[in-house]
Structure 1
């Protein structure tokens, strides 16, 4: 079994601690995505698993082996980077088999492994080409093939799609998902793009400032976030947040003219400041001539459009519309929603009120 376990993993650079006691279990065959904003520590954590960064304290296990202080080559991992790092003077086949050649693997075995990886990645027609004759997506597939031929226990991906254009990113997401389904290996994938995380992962690890905010399946994090950060990070467009205040058994919403709404949870003490979280698809707009809420801009994306509004309290709101239900331009608007879809967060701690 080739799962990955981190026990109180810590990383320091001198006096500065950047990874703060990470405890994490990644099961054998699981596709785990580390996601978070720039500087949250996701790439550092991945490099600690790979052995490219020394672990300052704690333990890292791959399968039954403690690899905390093992050399990268002895960990049974293969890493795919953002840059393809292909040798320009070598063919695709030579690039894919180079690591095995350097380890003294017989030519017949190298050819067999390259052929197997080429078949999985649909590179058979490109084996004799050199990197300059390949597209960006094809080069990234070669880099993945180079990892496959090593037969690692764990695949590590460090933002592998960042250099690709939008269409190729979609294509490669499909390729990587198909690869995981086909070979069933444990994969850890780093990205700042939560769309990639949602579409690829069995398990998402949301990181902020070197700490885990929440771990769970994509749907679990989307439907049941533990705090405002996770709620705002998972989902595209992001969740809307309006300021409110507890008044008895209701919540006052200044952005809607001190409108009082029912809460779907037991509320904290009267006077507690809260954030009211609403997904764009759970908001509705309708004409209301005397309303100070107006449409700022509309994004048309074919079957769906997004209306960007500003409230009298200067809070930005995004409303998702399908069909012909978009808000009228240059007119006052009424903003409405069903309280069953409301999520409440404590304004001070940003923890979800359940």
Structure 2
């Protein structure tokens, strides 16, 4: 296995630049997740590493090799796609060993590698079945097994769970985490689902509009985001953002009835626009006030209260236990100012 280094990589389609001078280091054995909204460039960046998209400018290195202009087959990577892309007329065993057979590997070697991949992915009972006799999760495991038998330096996953239902997504997420733990390979994984990113990654790369917004460990990005975009994207439900203005060493928030929120950060000039960010679990709903409890979503042990503010804004509050405040009630929300994050109202950069 090897690490991956991107140095000022650029991708253009004609005159349109979709990847903007991205530089990134992924360590050997690391599980790195590219995450961001649709159209942010995460799959394009992955395909550039794979060699399926030409790199317009910059350098792509796998290990110590410059593979910027190398063919995909020469890069030592294996890719798992959204679609399973299995041959319907071949058995699981034949599908997993197909690439090795095409490259002329001895039958004994193929059998040994397929058996090892089957053991890792718990596919021993399905080796003689055709893809049509498998569930979606089992088919995706076969596709991953086909990648494993190749013994690549780097595994690339392009939203591999997006075609599965919710329960299978959870099961496969655990399978992929266990796979990484067992084989210790370098893995790069693309998803728009920040839950997948948080649960799988050693390192998350948050992308927006073809540029990196922030790189870090999951909990680092969650607790210490650099800007509003990262703060809002990482965490589910998303962080609440309340508009306010600087008043001395505090921020006055109109949506909370003009309440002042003390800020232990360097604030901009008096009267400047600031956003106060508070995560749903750090808010508490109390009866009486200028807000309205609109809808309560009960999920068993946890509930999400959707709160309407007088200015037409919305907030989400996470509650636990049996909440007895009825919907449509007048309410207020409280929180510890130490749990709030503050962002510049113009640039949306984090204030520290």
**TM-score, normalised by the number of residues in structure 2:** 0.99
When structure 1 is superposed on structure 2, of 177-186 and 316-325 the one drifting more is 316-325
Does residue 315 (structure 1) correspond to residue 292 (structure 2)? The answer is: no
Alpha-carbon distance between aligned partners in 2 of 1:342 and 1:171, rounded to the nearest angstrom: 34
- Counterpart of 1:352 in structure 2 is 350
Does the CA contact (< 8 Å) of 2:11 and 2:19 recur in 1?
yes
Does the CA contact (< 8 Å) of 2:80 and 2:158 recur in 1?
yes
1:179-226 Cα distance to aligned partner (Å, 9 max, x none): 000000000000000000000000000000000000000000000000
- Counterpart of 1:199 in structure 2 is 199
- Counterpart of 1:44 in structure 2 is 44
1:77-118 Cα distance to aligned partner (Å, 9 max, x none): 000000000000000000000000000011111001000000
- Counterpart of 2:145 in structure 1 is 145
1:19-98 matched pairs, under 5 angstroms: 19-98=19-98
Does residue 229 (structure 1) correspond to residue 229 (structure 2)? The answer is: yes
Q: Secondary structure at the match of 1:293?
A: strand
Deviation, structure 1 residue 331: 1.8
Does the CA contact (< 8 Å) of 1:287 and 1:328 recur in 2?
no
- Counterpart of 1:300 in structure 2 is 298
Alpha-carbon distance between aligned partners in 2 of 1:114 and 1:221, rounded to the nearest angstrom: 38
Alpha-carbon distance between aligned partners in 1 of 2:223 and 2:270, rounded to the nearest angstrom: 27
Q: Which runs of 5+ in 2 are unaligned?
A: none
Alpha-carbon distance between aligned partners in 1 of 2:26 and 2:260, rounded to the nearest angstrom: 44
Cα pair distance change 1:326/1:145, threshold 3 Å:
farther
Does the CA contact (< 8 Å) of 1:264 and 1:342 recur in 2?
no
Deviation, structure 1 residue 270: 0.4
Q: 1:332 aligns with which of 315, 319, 330?
A: 330
Equivalent residue pairs, number? 352
- Counterpart of 2:185 in structure 1 is 185
Does the CA contact (< 8 Å) of 1:278 and 1:343 recur in 2?
yes
1:238-291 Cα distance to aligned partner (Å, 9 max, x none): 000000000112110000111112112121110110111000001111111xx2
Cα pair distance change 1:86/1:326, threshold 3 Å:
farther
Q: Which runs of 5+ in 1 are unaligned?
A: none
- Counterpart of 1:260 in structure 2 is 260
Deviation, structure 1 residue 326: 5.8
- What do you get for the CA RMSD once the two structures are aligned? 0.8
Deviation, structure 1 residue 336: 0.9
**TM-score, normalised by the number of residues in structure 1:** 0.98
